[in-house]
Amino acid sequence: MTTKLFGEPVRRREDARLVTGRGRYLDDIGAQALAAAFVRSPYAHARITDVDVEPALDVEGLVAIYTYEDLTGPMAEPLPVLIPHPQLHAPRTGYPLANGEVNHVGEPVVMVVATDRYLAEDAAERIVVTYEELPVVVGVDAARAAEHAVHAEIPDNVAARHHQETGDVEEALAGAARTLSFTQYVERSACMPLEGKGVHARWDPADSSLRVYSSTQASTSVRAAIAAKLELSLERVEVIAPDVGGGFGVKIVHPWPEELLVPMAAIALGHEVKWTEDRREHFIGSAHERQQRQEITVGFDDDGRIAALDVHAWHDNGAYTPYGIIVPIVTATQLVGPYVIPVYRVVVESVYTNTVIVTPYRGAGRPQGCFAMERTMDRIADALGLDRAEVRRRNLIRPDQFPYDHHLTFQDGRPVVYDSGDYPGLLSRLTSLVGWEAMEDRRAEAASRGKLLGAGMAMYVEGTGPGPYEGGHVQVLGSGKVLVSTGLTSQGQGHETVFAQIVASELGVPMEDVEVTTGDTRRFPYAVGTFASRAAVMSGNAIALAARGVREKALRIAAEVLEASPDDLEIADGVVGVRGTPGASIPLRTIAVLSNPLRYAFDEAAKQATQFARPGADDQPPVAVGDAPGLEHRDYFSPIRSTFASGAHAAVVEIDPATWEIDVVTYAVVHDCGNVVNPMIVEGQVHGGVAQGVAGALYERMAYDADGQLQNASFMDFLMPFASEVPDIDIDHQSTPSPLNPLGIKGAGEAGVIPGSAAIASAIEDATGRRISAMPISPTELYDVMRSPSAERTAAAGRRTEVGG
Amino acid sequence: MKPAPFRYADPGSLGEALDVLAAEGDGAKVLAGGQSLIPLLSMRLAAPTTLVDLNRVPGLDAVEVTGDGVRVGALVRHAELLGNPAARTVQPLLARATAYVAHPAIRNRGTTVGSIAHADPSGEMTAVLALTGGSVTVATPAGRSTIGWRELFVGPLETSVHGAAVVVDAFFPALPARSGTAFVEVSRRRGDYAVCGAGVVVTLDADGLVETVRAAYLSVGPVPEVHDLTEAVSGQPAASADWAAAADLARTLVDPDGDLHASADYRRLLVGVLTERALASAAAEAAA
């Protein structure tokens, strides 16, 4: 921690490899593999009455066809509910291949294996599946109305009713000086990593072992799932996440049907098999997130201080609930943000629809919670004629209130207790960064150019780095190389760089000597996965602890050799020396050789070490009791609960009142993730998050029609923003270290996306004077709002008109 | 997303290409830049029996600029036309519109004539062909013929060219004297197909008064549309003409559909806004 690498903007060491095309992604593996393709349901809700594979049988190159009838044992059972919860009273999951019924377009029905993907698709196209269509449920409102049921035995379509409350909300609302009630919507989007999912499996009959590569965020858990479902012994299965081209949440779900079916086929066929998801499959066969209807009632006093908040939300969970109710819980518990909410009640009903499943997408329910809370703040400000920043300021948790207990239960089952933070600090930095006080001047200047300018802001608190644990292993080799491994996976975040920085700092070695491996069960079998902004917090700390263990052992051995006290030793540039005594030193690599009493002189390192080696005492074993050969250490980090990062965003938009095009002209971010390992990587994470926040606010939506057909399942019509649509981003950092982990860090991966829709909706509302209660919003929709006689005008707009005469 | 099986031919001459097309019948499809066709194949939305690749056919890669206009060969890439200074001078709409065609990677590969033959009513070059009163040359085994734009565009993604025929070039007449042009679009993302686009030509008389006003629109109908807006502003001084009146007229002449990205009403709104802006700009250029 005292060396300078920790906290430095070290350039990402993985980039040279990745940007010059030397990455090794799933589809780069297994050029000789057989290819799998899937027949997927074209209907959103239907009974399967017949599957006729006959017409496909004469396709040259066809190897095998699998339907549900071919699944045996655990494979014929429903896929697991990964995270059960007592309030998830009606969980449902699909089968690896549809068992008589399909519940969304894209659900896999038949797997075809052929000598290449072209032929596999040719065969798949010829397979005739006969369906009997059933009524379709699309959208939270249709699910709630329950005229039809997604699952016949769940007539109200409600999978879970998640409920938390911190007091008597009815009484508190009745006693409040003022109340406001309103309804708002957030629409679906999706993670959309540029690399879709993919699985490659190879069975080795000689030692009955299976190696699987998967483009996953959780290789250890995929391994366990495959072992269980295919009835293999765990030690016969290894799973490796190769380079992964983005995840953003969708690849934390496991096992995907394909992660089981591809290995199953590889074993059955005795040949390696690969499936690479294509873009259309990803749109209709992976996962989405975000759609909610929110009914909110807030009670507050004449100064804008909240007395009580009552939220009833309906959350569209799609056709199945393999990932439990994590997203509804996160919305419910993170909604309160940086504010004191004296009495809070939240009910989130998680409802089934005949659409792609909903599982965490970067932010994982927080953008919706932030949208609810922050738009509530805007409404209070509007009702009272107060500045929106001032209303927020009056409700913020003060720095002297930490640890702050919201009396809620988080997604990890632990209490929502904020560990540290300075929310007034965030707000004051934000208002100065964006020039909040000077906004009227900017508004006037824009008006002189014929543009409507408006500003909005949103704050958030984000629980990051949930447990239960992650581990790290650090080993110094005789060559001087330092091998580092952790079980969680990487999807391009820069883990190689950050973990190497941590080890180099802790151990006192050059960063170039540190080699990092992630997501490979051969190297580290125990892990949870990369999600919930947890990699730096969890694996970063575990690796730091492992490095400290190595350091302690190295100093112990060096102390014996140098005949010094370990307290007088230091490590710099990979050499252990006695402080203040030049020349009294020994390289770490030599200590690594000495640490193993078996020293065949295979190499120079072993020969050099002999000068330090002393004969062991005749009355002691060569490896002391409690010691172990080798200079390595394995350690785990398991926090008491999540650590809470925070931030505040402001957006300034300019709107063309002729075309209703919306241009984000300023985007300001104040960000607090505690101690920062690498500020360049944190800023990159913020940039990427903001891009997805802007996407969710202005561009992306999943356009399902009433039949459950996704109308925009391509990058032509699903409007992921280009670089040209992402605004320049001004960032300011604040740091309130976490007391909950040795490095004092908090997660940073998801933060950037959370306040986007809230801040941009607020800015559009400020610019137009019309209430914006559904996001995303496009120019054509804004035009509809502006010309609708029933569109609600904000009180602020009325006051501005009065002032302006 | 892998294409269904197809045969592939890469003839070395136009005659050979026409022979293959004649032999293969209606199942054959001509390939030039492939920027629209290949995605359709990959999504199995199109499954031609044979692709006839023109890229080895000599003589189709020229941009010929004369005082009469610009003739663009079937293998000329958008980027090449965009960067051709002579073409830009003779018919400024070409470069102005081409700059809106997708992104550089697509402009480097996609062809102007291919865009026209694809007949997408959201395409820029179909609108420019219509607005300039252009035509295409079609080669068949029986010889060459010229087809004017009105005869060419039959419906969305549909032309009157069928069977053993190759569109070998497109001809864009020169900009008339005392004329100015403008090309504007509103798209959801930069480089996307336009939600609505407008190209205009304003021609003034010798006294600097408005003589003719024509506008073409993208993404408002099944085929490119050209509307004469002259009557709204005829005889008015270029600097003070009532372009809003012309925009109002344009709104009454179009009948757009709604889709995922824009309602019909919003498109109609944009037709007016873009018309007014484009006409003011084009008139200023004509007067300069």
pLDDT in tens, B123-172: 999 999 999 999 999 999 999 999 999 999 999 999 999 999 999 999 99
| Residue A736 near residue A422, CB atoms below 8 Å | yes
pLDDT in tens, A370-379: 999 999 999 9
Q: Is the pLDDT of residue A599 over 60?
A: yes
A588 and A706 within one domain: no
Please name the residues in contact with A619: beta carbons below 8 A apart, sequence gap of 6 or more.
Answer: none
A273 and A303 within one domain: no
pLDDT at A800: 84
- Residue A573's domain comprises 467-637
Find the chain B residues whose C-beta atoms sit closer than 8 A to any C-beta of A: 1-5, 43-44, 186, 188-193, 195, 260-263, 265-266, 269-270, 273
**What span, in angstroms and rounded, lies between the C-alpha atoms of A295 and A183?**
4
Chain B: give the shortest CA distance to residue A37, in Å.
10
Cis, bond preceding A205 (omega within 30 deg of 0): no
**What span, in angstroms and rounded, lies between the C-alpha atoms of B125 and B103?**
15
Backbone angles phi, psi at A588, to 5 degrees: -60, -35
Domain-ending residue, one of A616, A637, A658: A637
The β-bridge partners of A34 are A273
pLDDT at A1: 38
| Residue B184 near residue B278, CB atoms below 8 Å | yes
Query: Average of pLDDT values for A415-436?
Result: 97
Q: Is the pLDDT of residue A632 over 90?
A: yes
CATH fold label, B7-56 = 3.30.43
| Residue A392 near residue A379, CB atoms below 8 Å | no
pLDDT in tens, A316-344: 999 999 999 999 999 999 999 999 999 99
- Mean pLDDT, all residues of chain A: 95
Residue type, A179: T
State the CB neighbour count (10 A cutoff) for residue B96: 18
| Ranges for all domains in chain B classified under CATH 3.30.390.50 | 179-287
DSSP class per residue in A41-74: -SSSSEEEEEEE-GGGTTSTTEEEEE-GGG--GG
Q: State the CATH number of the domain containing residue A769.
A: 3.30.365.10
Query: Average of pLDDT values for A648-653?
Result: 98
H/E run at residue B108: helix B104-109
Size of interface A-B (CB pairs under 8 A): 64
H/E run at residue A507: helix A495-507
| CA-based nearest residue to A652, from A751, A728, A722 | A728
pLDDT in tens, A497-517: 999 999 999 999 999 999 999
Q: Tokens 């409007």 label which residue?
A: A719
**What span, in angstroms and rounded, lies between the C-alpha atoms of B178 and B206?**
8
pLDDT at A2: 41
Query: Average of pLDDT values for A347-363?
Result: 98
DSSP class per residue in B169-213: EEEEEPPPTTEEEEEEEEESSTTSPEEEEEEEEEEE-TTSBEEEE
Chain B neighbors of A724, CB-CB under 8 A: 189-191
pLDDT in tens, A176-219: 999 999 999 999 999 999 999 999 999 999 999 999 999 999 99
Query: Average of pLDDT values for B200-220?
Result: 97
Among chain A residues, CA nearest to B262: A780
Q: Is residue A22 part of a domain?
A: no
Q: Tokens 């006689």 label which residue?
A: A789
Cis, bond preceding A468 (omega within 30 deg of 0): yes
Among chain B residues, CA nearest to A725: B189
Query: Average of pLDDT values for A419-437?
Result: 98
pLDDT in tens, A26-41: 999 999 999 999 999 9
A124 and A98 within one domain: yes
Per the CB < 8 Å rule, is B260 touching A780? no
**What span, in angstroms and rounded, lies between the C-alpha atoms of B29 and B162?**
10
Chain A neighbors of B263, CB-CB under 8 A: 780, 783-784
pLDDT at A606: 74
Q: Given CB atoms, is A506 within the 8 Å cutoff of chain B?
A: no
CA A382 vs. chain centroid, Å, equals 34
Q: Is residue A7 part of a domain?
A: no
Interface predicted TM-score (ipTM) of this complex, two decimals: 0.96
Query: Average of pLDDT values for A646-657?
Result: 98
Q: Is residue A413 part of a domain?
A: yes
Selected from 3.30.390.50, 3.40.50.300, 3.40.50.2300, 3.90.1150.10, the CATH number assigned to the domain covering B179-287 reads 3.30.390.50
Residue A757: pLDDT band by 50, 70, 90 thresholds? Answer: very high
Q: Is residue A19 part of a domain?
A: no
pLDDT at A803: 59
Per the CB < 8 Å rule, is B188 touching A719? yes
Q: Is residue A25 part of a domain?
A: no
Q: Is residue A709 part of a domain?
A: yes
In this structure, what is the dihedral angle of CA atoms A727, A732, A737, A742, given to the nearest 10 degrees? 60
Per the CB < 8 Å rule, is B192 touching A784? no
Domain-ending residue, one of A598, A613, A637: A637
Query: Average of pLDDT values for A36-57?
Result: 98
Smallest Cβ–Cβ distance between B190 and the set A703, A716, A724 belongs to: A724
CATH class for the domain made up of B63-173 = alpha beta
Q: Is the pLDDT of residue A157 over 70?
A: yes
Q: In sequence order, what E strands does A595-739 have?
A: 631-637, 643-655, 662-672, 729-734
Backbone angles phi, psi at A425, to 5 degrees: -65, -45
Please name the residues in contact with B57: beta carbons below 8 A apart, sequence gap of 6 or more.
Answer: B11, B12, B13, B14, B17, B74, B75
**Per the structure block, which two tokens stand in for A634?**
């394995």
| Residue A308 near residue A173, CB atoms below 8 Å | yes
Q: Is residue A495 part of a domain?
A: yes
A655 and A620 within one domain: no
| Residue A278 near residue A284, CB atoms below 8 Å | no
H/E run at residue B153: strand B153-155
Number of folded domains that form chain A: 3
pLDDT at A598: 84
Query: Residues of A numbered 655-684 whose beta carbons fall under 8 angstroms of chain B's beta carbons: which are they?
Result: 658-661
Q: Is the pLDDT of residue A586 over 70?
A: yes
Query: Average of pLDDT values for A271-275?
Result: 98
Q: Is the pLDDT of residue B27 over 50?
A: yes
**What span, in angstroms and rounded, lies between the C-alpha atoms of A724 and A392?**
32
pLDDT in tens, B241-271: 999 999 999 999 999 999 999 999 999 999 9
pLDDT at A622: 86
Per the CB < 8 Å rule, is A717 touching B261? yes
Q: Is residue A632 part of a domain?
A: yes
A697 and A765 within one domain: yes
| Ranges for all domains in chain B classified under CATH 3.30.43.10 | 7-56
A619 and A699 within one domain: no
Q: State the CATH number of the domain containing residue A129.
A: 3.90.1170.50
